[in-house]
Structure 1
């Protein structure tokens, strides 16, 4: 069992904050988070590309290269693997593992709002596990998420609102069963937050369940009590950071005081690696 897989079986669930650059990852590691994930929305927005459209393959790989040797375990949100060819998805997984990633998140939601065929997504999972057996595959289904108007990153709306209404539990169970059988190490259902539905789904699973945290949904302790083993923050941190930056500028423009914590210049500089430890950028 890998160290990352073991975090899913610890006494408390793995709370996985999602990052978008080196500084955000280093700052969270400094706060004691043993593992971080990337946020596809944050990665895409940072380089001016749309999320969930397979447009950020290079940006995602470059970020993984920058983070893979950091003092934390890294899981990478690879959308749908940036391809519908399982062999190409396996190639992405090889590249991620080669730069130090411990896990990959693969989703079955598509940019047009539909779900990929179960057999196709299962084939991607099987190809990745065959190519890189030690890479933790978190298989995500968007059976609930697409019906709730969420973004591809699996993050709740800015208000934090999230609802299970309309989520097809039968389709969810069918898909997750196929993904388990294909070799997934964990499964992820963003948009699922109703405790009774989570409990019912857990009874059908043989692998850890990942739930997306919502400010209006169950708390981390409540999710732990239900049996959830991994709790992701999705793009929430990125969006809050962006919101705080805009709010700060607006307050200063209005002649008002700015409150709240902010790292000092020297504290941020401390996150920078020496030049000898910086990776080359992927092509």
Structure 2
């Protein structure tokens, strides 16, 4: 009798696993279909990153290059009357929110990397970023080599590839991880670190609002940004890639790039647009 109960329990457990797996597969396959039915795509975006995604306190809306790209992609896929719905994410929360189904796609200064590709799929690159460092103008730091010393503190953001890269390029420095870029910049201003590191586009956004700081040393990595989609959604990814290609062809992409980065001193719009 006991043996029968064990077999029955194992059988029921197997059935539950198959049911759950089947439901998961169905949900993933239905995202593009649901988007077409609701005329809406739910995007995970940053709200603390100048030029890419920053909350406008007066209007309560998030603005930036990522926001405009997401809106344009949405309308390319679903039509001019479609809605791009924006959900605030951080470097730490964006993949979990995508995997949990809270958002359909991530467009949040997210670098394409082999480790991330184990969890999500990426669109073709839409922004050719590279990692650099931000310091106060009077700092003696001129490149990443200058922070590769004992006692140096470099500020970064949790969940970003920048932190991992810094441990590789400046292993002697201590890396202090903050929750978001606003906290990291505040820490740099208050002297809690010698430099702040992330992608150059994000750093130039900080400089635009904080002229007492500068981006130094050029870029020491290649960090192309991609739109992240959950695994198993090839049709959705293909539609996003098609939309990005159309935007490059009809001039929409170049227009948006110049809108947000055209007047930034030292920033190369041409290099940023390279795939």
Scaled to the shorter chain, the TM-score interval is: under 0.3
TM-score by length of 1: 0.27
Q: Which has the larger radius of gyration?
A: 2
Higher relative contact order (CA 8 A, sep 6+): 2
